[in-house]
Structure 1
Amino acid sequence: MQHAPLAGNAWRILFLLFLANLFNFFDRTIPAIIIEPIRLEWNLSDLQIGLIGTAFTIVYAIAGLPLGRMADTGARRKIMGWGLLAWSGLTAVNGLAWNFWSFLLIRMGVGIGEASYAPAANSLIGDLFPAHKRARAMGIFMLGLPLGLLLAFFTIGAMVQAFGSWRAPFFIAAVPGVLLALFMFFIKEPQRGAAETVQVAAVPVDKPLRKVLAIPTFGWLVLAGLTFNFATYACNSFMVPMLQRYFQLPMVQAATATGVIVGLTGLVGLTLGGWIADRLHQRSERGRLLFGAASMLIASLATGTALLLGRIEIGVFVAVFSLGWLFSYNFYTCVYTSIQDVVEPRLRATAMALFFAGLYLLGGGLGPVVVGWLSDHFAQAAMLAEGATQMTEAFKAVGLHSAMLLIPVALFLTMLSLLLAARCFSTDAAKMRQGLHDAVPA
């Protein structure tokens, strides 16, 4: 099989993209860690807590569509640089919020800034790395997710304790983001399609949204992303408060345990998973997606088991849930690279923007608010079952733990969607390659 050459500056740019991705997830994770002090200070319900995450993700999804189109037609380094400046600055402003609604509106502004990054970065990676190296490159880029989470969950609690306020982490987090934004403007971008084996036409694509949505594999991957993000955003939003309420852990220990579950596992899942996905892709075009589907099945079974075991030893819960979350990280290396394989280079940022719209608008947007609403519902049911007339923290603990069972259900639905995507992947990948050949002038 013929392979395109690797860009000379590919690994240096990838490292910069990885660092920015790390602080992207660090910044967006802060509210999930300090949410209990905020809840008690402003007397919030779990539904309101869920709305904070939902408002962020809905705005992120909507803003990503025009920003994705801009990344397909304009300078990606400028889009990423200005976006990084915007979300870092607004993260600092978040520390000045005076009530629930001000906090919510500022988080929505952060979402607009962060929406500029992922489509442009994914498009850039597709032009820097040829197909047989993309899963590993994407795995390194997506290491920013677990490392960002790990850094946040391991340090935010200590920051709150050191400064005596939940506001301090927002101010501290803004500094590295502003510095990284300056480096973004100096990236030397490759030509679009530089990593493909055939020349890519320079003319714009007619009806780009329709062409992307007409790819069957892409539709199934969007559905898989929707259910997967439902699970991940529900977990990231409520794992720390669930450990605090249900397992009676103090905030620092709950944050550290969550860091192990959603952060440490990603270091293994993304590095090893990317390597396995590339090897399987060389044996079979559908290998990545079938590997992703098998990983989702394991993730669903392990996370479901950990929750159904009830109030077990915290070490056992963390170990079993972490096993499932480790396999869940294979979603990124398998799905993101598969989109690159079925969408032509001139439409990749647009495709990623559409993909993220599905992920965040219906997946990440619904996950926190649905789990939050169910948590309040189950807490009320637990109170009535005991014949009590006053809501207590014990009832809220039971309610939240019960609502978290939606996570393994969503992961199982992700597995089904990936299996359906694998059925049409080879046909769609062949059509993409043939389209590139047909577009080359004679």
Structure 2
Amino acid sequence: MVDGVQPVPDDGRASNRAECRPDRDGDSSRIRRRRPPAERTFSVRHHQRNDTLEPESGNPCPAAHHCRELPDRRGASRSFHSLPVRCGSGPTGLLSRRTGSRESAMANRPPDAREDHMTASDTRTTMSAADRLDRAGTRTGPILALLFAANLLNFYDRTIPAIIVEPLKAEFGLSDAQIGLLSAAFTLVYAIVGIPLGRFADRRSRRVILSVGLVTWSLFTGISGLATTFAVLLAIRVLVGIGESSFAPAANSMIGDLYPSDRRGRAVGLLQLGLPLGLVLAFFTVGGITEAFGTWRAAFFIAAVPGLIIAVLFAFIREPRRGAAESAGTSTGEVDRPFHRLLRVRTLWWLVLAAIGSQVAAYAVATFSVPLFQRHFGMSLPTSGLLTGITIGLTGVAGLLVGGRIADRASRRSAAGRVYVGASALLLAAPLTLGALLLGEDHVALFVIIFSVGWLLQYAYYTAAYPAIADVVGPRLRGTAVSIYLAASYLLGGAVGPVLAGALSDRFAAAATDLTASEAAAHGLRLSLTIVIPASLLLAAAGLLGAARHVIRDQARMHAAS
């Protein structure tokens, strides 16, 4: 027995016994293991300054006088409760979530190699924020899967009117400007109602908000199929917007508490996969449903059912604690003057500018891509939906998955890294979409290829902007921040894009007096999108470049205020 250090008590399995003893030079900061470690574990009990290791049986740790607070993987001192560890001498006690992981690897090395490797610098906790959430009963994977499914339905339901533009125009005698108004009315309400709902998400249960929102927008999606006039359809779509406005603030706030900063980009990318996949599913199915049933109303009836099922599933999830994924401690008290605090974050101002440009382009494309394929390229409704699903839907899957990984890697070097990645992608997307829209009517395949590449790059905006909000805004204000961000972007971007594109289309078509009515409609729409889309993408890139200049400073202020 070495002075001051007791061997680990024998638990009846002598072959797996490990001892704490000094090395040959008398330095007790190293560990020598004769055999693989025992299955016996110890739990860390938190004290004011020091953490003492004690066996789960309640007996004193044989090396308790050497045990102290342990650094986490970010270098900050942290204390953990009920964390399985291996008894070691001093700060080199090894921590492991599973027996036989790192310890078994050490045991198989030569004694000198084990001794040299297992120094004090090797001691760190391997528990990530997601691991701690799992221990608290909050499973990140199933929650993210439900959020993804809800987001998919969110975009599926809102995309239906954009696919049935021609049937709606035929039944109600509408112009392109009125079609744009149908989308704009939804977007305006979505943006305005989202602000109080975002504030509500910072104060109340996000799980309940998500469930109620899903039920609301699913029911009114089904009721949309009962509309008898354009005015009635417009009013019902406004109510759909109220329900859908509850999702983004609550979902993004929850993502911020489920995943730490260095994994948040991928998590947001997976959440935002609901956008392109929702578009793909809608563009691939709504046209076929309309032709199969002989009416555009059937698509609304069918779309209402899945949302009600997802709403029920949300009632069974366990909501994460606010700030659970932050590396530094955060306060859970009420924030005074929340809007004043957020308006002082310069990064948000630039992100809003980027969002305006992105939403103008996105909503113009989503609203008029199917009519563009029908008018300019002469495709049928199902084929137009299929090609639109490829160009702006399937591309998003690759764009969000790859973009999320690249953005997270860039953020490990600098908080501004992911924002620069998004800006660079948008700068490449603008000329590609412009080149595709300048192609003639005989080059539909080339159009699909070039526009798809450009729109794939456009999706890098989402994996840059949404994680950047969580990087500069504390957990208690994230729902409010997202709602303000979305309100501004939808009011000035999403609502403007379809109306602007539709109005320009009507004007250019009216000016083409030397063309037939169908040719003029195709010419007007293509020329309108050629102007609106590339210019909007350049505006979004400028916003992200501005945000990148301030994100590091604003992140430091957030941590200082926590």
TM-score by length of 2: 0.76
- Is contact 1:216–1:428 with CA below 8 Å preserved after alignment? yes
Q: Is residue 411 from structure 1 mapped to residue 541 from structure 2 by the alignment?
A: no
**Deviation string, structure 1 residues 279-310 (Cα, Å, up to 9, x no partner):** 11112221101100100011101101101223
Residues 418, 464 of structure 2: 8 Å contact kept: yes
- Code of the residue aligned with 2:348 in structure 1: it is F
Give the residue type in structure 1 aligned to 2:454: G
- Contact 2:353 2:539 (C-alpha < 8 Å) held by counterparts: no
User: Is 1:237 matched with 2:371?
Assistant: no
Query: Which residues of 2 match residues 214-233 of structure 1 at below 5 A?
Result: 214-233=344-363
- Trace 1:313-328 onto structure 2 (pairs within 5 A): 313-328=443-458
Deviations 1:332-359 (A, max 9, x none): 1111000100001100000000010011
Q: Which residue of 1 aligns with 2:431?
A: 301
Q: Which 10-residue stretch deviates more, 425-434 or 307-316?
A: 307-316
Segments of structure 1 that go 5 or more residues without pairing to the other structure are 437-442
Q: Does 1:213 align with 2:337?
A: no
Select which of 382, 399, 409 maps to 1:269: 399
Of 376, 379, 388 in structure 1, the residue corresponding to residue 506 of structure 2 is: 376
Contact 2:506–2:521 (Cα < 8 Å) also in 1: yes
Which amino acid is 2:489 matched to? L
Counting only pairs closer than 5 Å after superposition, residues 41-440 of structure 1 correspond to structure 2 as 41-383=171-513, 386=514, 392-405=517-530, 406-436=532-562
Once residues 219 and 144 of structure 2 are traced to their aligned partners in structure 1, the CA distance between those partners, rounded to angstroms, is 24
Q: Deviations over 1:211-261 (max 9, x none)?
A: 111100110001100110000000000010111011111001110000001
* Number of residue pairs the alignment of both structures matches: 431
Q: 1:72 Cα deviation (Å)?
A: 0.3
Q: Distance in 2 between matches of 1:204 and 1:292?
A: 33
Asked if the contact 1:4/1:196 (under 8 Å) is kept, the reply is no
Deviation at 1:37, TM superposition (A): 0.7
Alpha-carbon distance in structure 2 between the residues aligned to 1:266 and 1:312: 26
How far the C-alpha of 1:312 sits from its partner, in A, is 4.1
Q: CA-atom RMSD, angstroms? A: 1.0
Separation of aligned partners in 2, 1:148 and 1:328: 17
**How far 1:197 moved relative to its partner?**
1.2
Q: Structure 1 residue 311: deviation in Å?
A: 2.5
Partner letter of residue 183 of structure 1? Answer: L
Deviation at residue 276 of structure 1 after TM alignment: 0.6
- 1:191 aligned counterpart, secondary structure: coil
Runs of 5+ unmatched residues, structure 2: 1-73, 76-126
Counterpart amino acid of 2:443? Answer: E
| 1:297 partner amino acid | L
**Separation (CA, whole Å) in 2 of partners of 1:310 and 1:102:** 38
The TM-score normalised by the length of structure 1 is 0.96
C-alpha distance in 2 between matches for 1:412 and 1:47:
24
Contact 1:299-1:328 within 8 A present in 2 as well: yes
**Structure 2 partner of 1:27:** 157
Q: Which residue of 2 aligns with 1:5?
A: 129
| Corresponding residue of 2:81 | none
Indicate if the aligned counterparts of 2:415 and 2:471 stay in contact, CA closer than 8 A. no
The answer on whether the counterparts of 1:146 and 1:264 sit within 8 Å (CA) in structure 2 is yes
Q: Moved runs in structure 1, 4+ residues, more than 4 A?
A: none
- 8 Å Cα contact 2:187/2:241 also seen in 1: yes
CA distance in 1, matches of 2:477, 2:415: 21
